[in-house]
Structures are given as C-alpha cells and as structure tokens.
Amino acid sequence: MAMINKQVLLASRPTVEATVDNFRLVETPLPALAEGQVLVRNHYLSLDPYMRMRMNDAKSYAAPQALDTVMIGGTVGEVVDSKNAKFAVGDKVVGMGGWQQYSVVDGNLPGVMRKVDTTHVPLSAYLGAVGMPGVTAWYGLVKLCMPKPGETIVVSAASGAVGSAVGQLAKVRGCRAVGIAGGADKCRYVVEELGFDACVDYKQHRDAKSLDAALAEAAPNGIDGNFENVGGVILDAVLRRMNAFGRMALCGMISGYDGGAVPLSNPSLILTQRLRLEGFIVSEHMEVWPEALKELGGLVATGKLKYRESVAARIEEAPEAFLGLLKGKNFGKQLVKLI
C-alpha cells in the first residue's frame, strides 16, 4: 500500500472565474488509524457544479470551503484498513472522501459512509445515476414537478448526470420529456440513446426569438414541469412557455456561478401563470433517499436507466476537468479516476 496520499487543496478563492491557480496539489503521509476509523482507497471522485459555489466566501446554503483544506467531493472506493467492526477490508463504500486518493473516516459517525453492492450496479454509478445526482433528479421531478401522465417535462443540461436521469424518470411516468443541451452530439444522445421525445440545442438558438421557436416546436402543448439546472436565458425561455399552474424545480443556476446575479427578464409570468417555483438542496431531504435509491438502482441494474461518464485519468487532472464541467465540456457524469 502506498504510504503517501495525493490531495488537491483549495489554495485561493476565485475573483470571477475559477482557474487552475485556485487549486494546489500536495502529498501527505497517511496517518495511523485510531479506534473506530477506516482507511478508504478512493477509486473515483465526483465533480459537481455545487463545488464552484463552495469556493466562494459568500452566504449560501452551506459553509464556504476553507482555504488550504482538501476540496469537498463525493467518492467511491474500497476499505483497505479498518479499526471498526462495521467495515471490513474489501468493502466497497460511498462517502465524501474529497479530492484525494485516500480518506480516513470515522466509521461510527452516522451518514458519512455507507457500503454498496456492486453485483449489478457498477461502483462508479454510485456517484451518478444511483448516487447524489440521481436522487437529486428523483426528488426534483417527483416531489416538486409532480409529473402526471401526458404532461410535458423540460429539463436543462439534459445530457448531464442529473438532467439525463430527470428525462428518463419522466418517461417512466408517462410524460413527454424535452431536454435542453449544448451541441448536436449531446442532443442526439439525449433523444436517440436516453429516449427523450425532443431536445433543443441552445447553441443553435442564440437569440430569444429563435430559442422560443425551438422550444415551442419541442413542447407544442406548453410546459407543465421544469427541472432547472442552468438559469439565465434558458430559464427565461422556459418561463415564457410554462402552462398555468406549472411546477418548477430549481436545482442549479450554473449560468451565474462565475459572475454576478442573473436576473429574470419577466418574473411577472410566475404570477400570471400561477406557477409553483421552489429551489431545493437534496441533502436536506434524506428521508426520500431510500425510496429514490431503490428505484434508481433497480432501473440501472435492469438497463432501463442509461447514463454516460466522462472520466479524467488522474487526480492531477481534477482541476482542469472541474473547470471543463463548469463550461459544459463534459458528456454525462464527470468523474476522476484515482487508481
């Protein structure tokens, strides 16, 4: 076993856009385990948009990432040493190990790590379709969009880890699923492989009039439920197409993560269309995780929920891969392979 642990720290806070200079790679010795602790060799690291907000020293739903500490992040891996009776060497686990090759975990703390079964679900999927992104999709769709058969559900960033699951879960519930994504390849994947009914390529529709026309063609009966990951002009276009009493789940506003606030162009539509609009953080709804993971795991195991992964090859590539994620360069779930 290697006795050195490579870690990526938050070295400085972004002034506007995040850059590789905001991160620092260090090597530290692995400590000896105390009673109750577990040593996990992380196999994959999850990169997610929420990390960008944690880099700022600003008021948000969670405390800012402290400087000179290991970047926060979900991981899956294998127990390689244990002084805790609940975890044995060889157990596959998912937790918040952060941007590092190894993590030392107090196995007695509730909720910090759980064992997973890789018999029918690949280990990496527990960071995507059968992990936090999948549960995020499930909660926002089922609990907030409240889809009914025959309704139209629109999701932005539709080829990503969350958006791709939203559309497929909507189809399972008998809805018309419409995606919004950037690029012909992504839209083709959303329709042809994931089974969405339509996908709007926002890169081909740069002005509001063109985007409105494309969305009207994709959603001819209007929009009943919106799962929003992007915000900005995308959200404005969806708002103009929402049906009365529509439901909108606000999951992310990635269009504004590297700059100031992105205002709505016509917020009065929320009133005139009597819309229900709610933001959410999935970690605040742990009560739904068992139900959501049961459905997601079953769908993945039977091949009914498809997903794609973009994988950076080494921990050294994590900062560049993360910056690419923020600009939409990834295709599907963005991971870093750590072994």
**pLDDT, tens digit, for every residue of 218-255?**
999 999 999 999 999 999 999 999 999 999 999 988 87
Q: Tell me which CATH homologous superfamily contains domain 4-127+308-337.
A: Medium-chain alcohol dehydrogenases, catalytic domain (3.90.180.10)
**Statement: residue 277 has pLDDT above 80:** yes
DSSP 142: I
Write the burial class of residue 267 (CB in 10 Å: 0-12 exposed, 13-18 middle, 19+ buried): exposed
The whole-angstrom separation of Cα 324 and Cα 331 is 10
Question: Which fold, 132-283?
Answer: Rossmann fold (3.40.50)
Query: Which residue, 10, 17, 8, is CA-closest to 314?
Result: 8
pLDDT in tens, 142-190: 999 999 999 999 999 999 999 999 999 999 999 999 999 999 999 999 9
Query: Which residue, 47, 59, 61, is CA-closest to 18?
Result: 47
Domains of the chain: which residue ranges?
A: 4-127+308-337, 132-283
The whole-angstrom separation of Cα 98 and Cα 95 is 9
Contact 305, 279 (CB under 8 A): no
The type of residue at 226 is: N
Same fold, 4-127+308-337 and 132-283: no
Share of the chain above pLDDT 70, in %: 98
DSSP 315: G
